[in-house]
Amino acid sequence: MAEVALDRESGGGPLRAMGGVIATPELATLRTAGSQAPGFGIRGWIRVLLADIRRDWQLYVLLAPMIIWFAVFLYTPMYGLQIAFKQYSLFRGIDGSPWVGFSNFVTLFNNEYFLRAIKNTLLISFYSLVFAFPMPVILALMFNEIQHNGFRKIAQTITYLPHFISVVIIAGLVINFLSPSSGIVNVLLAKMGFEKIYFLTIPDYFRPIFIGSNIWKEAGFESIIYLAAIAGINPALYESARIDGASRWQMMRYITIPSILPTVVIMLIIRIGNMIEVGFEYIVLLYQPATFETADVIATFIYRAGLQNNQYSIGAAAGLFNAVVAFILVYGANRLSRRVSQTSLW
């Protein structure tokens, strides 16, 4: 029975966490498949497994490379996570390094830079929630109100495009535009009689730049999910509203927005669940020591401590903390979204 419960989590959870919605038939088949297993205990189960492998050996051959891949590349590192509780030395290796209990964590939580990284992670997430999260909703509503099909298609094509572009290019564009000597922003500032500003070295500008460029990159693409929700609204609602003399604004206000609200709530919960993930690969490209004060997040802290300064145990401990908090948040968000989606329109 325990496995059944676990399965429910595995089906509904992770994809939701990634912004996806899982089809329920999968869960149904999972459960029926499980009920075939005879209850002879582990030995009996292995005997049945061996018989199955003999009968359907090709199926297990097809499966094997993928199982090996997950074991080697994702589960072996989980075993390696123990160095968070060890004083890792390159020569002794993971198993040979001495245990040190929680001392790496004590070091971390006495480190003002790590505490700053936690604060920055939460603040960047919070500001993203306030400023970036509503943008795709607004965009979807706007797309929906555009009457000219050609214009709408072109607008969608153009605004989805930045999602598929490398963060290196995005960072290159940002650096280029904000460059103090030739950047277009400073050229315009100078033309208007203002002083030139080296934006990327000023801590106060980092978060607006980061969040703003993320909106530019992702808002269009993220509107897809809300457009899908809008497409599911019953057209009869609009027709009867029109007969009653409702304006387009009123139809948007009283039909479209309430209809997509459940989707918005679910997406909001998912975003809160992913609070700890803040696109550090992009931050690494944009930040510099002058802006660490506002830009350094947990993942960039780990990158510098572990991969650039070889403090592997400290990096692993910070990573474990990060992963556990992320796990709790995603798990909680997932439970919450399931409850919301059951009681709401879906």
Partner 1 sequence: MSGFNLYTRGDRIFGIANASLMLLFVLSTLYPFIYIVSASVSSGFAVSSGQVVLWPVDPTLAAYKHVLSDRMFWISYGNTLYYAIVGTLASLIIMVPGAFALSRPRLRGRRLITFLIAFTLWFHAGQIPFFLNIRDLGLLDTRIGIVLAFACNAFNVILLKSYFESIPASFEEAARMDGATDFQLLWKIFIPLAKPALATVTLLCLVTRWNGYFWAMVLLRSEEKIPLQVYLKKLIVDLKSDDGFASRLMTAEYSFETITAAIMVASLIPVVIVYPYIQKYFTKGMTLGGVKE
By rule CB under 8 A, what count of residues binds partner 1? 119
Under rule CB under 8 A, residue 56 binds partner 1: yes
Contact positions with partner 1 (CB under 8 A) in 273-302: 281, 284-285, 299, 302
CB of 139 to partner 1, least distance (A): 7
Under rule CB under 8 A, residue 345 binds partner 1: no
Nearest to 277 by CA among 115, 122, 134, 84: 122
Cα distance between residue 286 and residue 276, in whole Å: 19
Contact positions with partner 1 (CB under 8 A) in 160-219: 160-162, 164-169, 171-173, 175-177, 179, 181-184, 186-187, 190, 216
Other beta carbons less than 10 A from residue 59's beta carbon: 11
CB of 172 to partner 1, least distance (A): 4
Binding mask 251-270 for partner 1 (x = CB under 8 A): --------------------
Rg (CA), the chain: 25
CB of 202 to partner 1, least distance (A): 16
∠ CA 71-18-142, nearest 5°, is 160
User: Cβ distance 296 to 117 under 8 Å?
Assistant: yes
Q: What b/e readout covers 127-157, taking b as 16+ CB neighbours within 10 angstroms? A: ebeeebbebbbebbbebbeeeeeeeeeebbe
Residue among 44, 52, 126, 309 that touches partner 1 (CB under 8 A): 52
CB of 36 to partner 1, least distance (A): 8
Under rule CB under 8 A, residue 136 binds partner 1: no
Cα distance between residue 93 and residue 108, in whole Å: 22
Q: Give the nearer residue to partner 1 in terms of CB position, either 261 or 279.
A: 279
Under rule CB under 8 A, residue 29 binds partner 1: yes
Under rule CB under 8 A, residue 132 binds partner 1: no
Q: Give the nearer residue to partner 1 in terms of CB position, either 30 or 211.
A: 30
Q: Could you tell me the CA-to-CA distances from 216 to 49, 62, 92, 98 in Å, in that order? A: 52, 42, 47, 48
CB of 343 to partner 1, least distance (A): 21
Residues 6+ apart with CB under 8 A from 97: 83, 86, 87, 88, 89, 313
CB of 111 to partner 1, least distance (A): 16
Burial of 195 (0-12, 13-18, 19+ CB in 10 A): exposed
Residue among 40, 106, 234, 248 that touches partner 1 (CB under 8 A): 248
Under rule CB under 8 A, residue 80 binds partner 1: yes
Residue among 103, 111, 144, 259 that touches partner 1 (CB under 8 A): 144
Contact positions with partner 1 (CB under 8 A) in 91-110: 93-94
Contact positions with partner 1 (CB under 8 A) in 312-331: 312, 315-316, 318-320, 322-323, 326-327, 330-331
Q: Give the nearer residue to partner 1 in terms of CB position, either 124 or 333.
A: 333
Packing angle, helices 134-145 and 257-273, rounded to 10 = 150
User: Cβ distance 238 to 254 under 8 Å?
Assistant: no
CB of 101 to partner 1, least distance (A): 18
Q: Give the nearer residue to partner 1 in terms of CB position, either 124 or 270.
A: 270
Token pair, residue 136, equals 């795709």
